[in-house]
Amino acid sequence: MIASSSPGILNNDNYQIKILIEENARVYLTTQSYQRLFNMANSASQDINVCIGNNGTLFFVPHPCVPHEASSFSGANNIYLTEKHNLVWSEIITCGRKLSGEEFKFTRFRSVTNIYFNNKLVVKENILLEPLQRKVHALGYLEGYTHQSTLLFISDDVDMDKLSGECNELLSGVEDVIFGISTLPVNGLIFRMLGQKGEKLFDCNNRLAGLIRESISLANKIA
């Protein structure tokens, strides 16, 4: 669990996080609470660099991010994979403090995730929200939903067609959430969800992670 003595990310903060998964290591990483982005006169940033050793496994399933009014944040995630690997990387973005009347009152939220395989870029995920400049509820954006989730799964062994069907069945039974599942250029899947509550999307991500763990275990037995 990533623990922090700070109540959240503050104005002018710059976080630098390095994660090294050693060969044959298996890590499930989460956070202690919702990540709050406080009111900012300027902006804040966070860079996460991840290296996964051969036959390493990383599950990163953090709590939702809550951008407060006037917050401005940029995040960059760079993940490096080697020959054998299992990676789950997820992110949930909320509209802000909805019950405090701060729905989509933040200035800017950007998060870029780059995934490299043998130092070659294979997946790029780019999320940019500027609700004061663009209508977030317009067609092609959130269309009335207030929370969004992205979960990436990449593995060199797992049968993605079979897993996609199982995950589709799981998510189809969740009320008030719409979702889509797409294949990646490498052996992997991306899950996108829209909803109205962060806790529900966080629960979905954990349930997806459970199915993925079972698929990895099955693939290892067959191998």
Quickly count: other Cβ atoms within 10 Å of residue 86's Cβ.
Answer: 26
Q: Is the pLDDT of residue 223 over 70?
A: no
Mean pLDDT of 22-43: 95
Q: Is the pLDDT of residue 5 over 80?
A: no
Q: What is the pLDDT of residues 88-98, one digit of tens each?
A: 999 999 999 98
Q: Is the pLDDT of residue 4 over 90?
A: no
Mean pLDDT taken over the chain: 94
3-state secondary structure of 28: strand
Beta strands in 38-107 (DSSP E): 44-52, 56-60, 65-67, 72-81, 85-93
| Nearest-angstrom CA–CA distance, 46 and 40 | 15
CA atoms within 13 A on the CB side of 19: 26
The residue that leads in pLDDT, 109 or 217, is: 109
Q: Is the dihedral of CA 119, 3, 150, 143 positive or negative?
A: negative
Q: What is the pTM of this model?
A: 0.94
The residue that leads in pLDDT, 200 or 118, is: 200
Cβ proximity of 193 and 204 under 8 Å: yes
Q: Is the pLDDT of residue 181 over 60?
A: yes
Contacts of 56 (CB under 8 A, 6+ apart): 21, 22, 23, 24, 25, 26, 27, 82, 84, 85, 86
Q: What is the pLDDT of residues 143-158, one digit of tens each?
A: 999 999 999 999 998 9
Q: What percent of the chain has pLDDT over 90?
A: 85
Structure tokens at 48: 């996460």
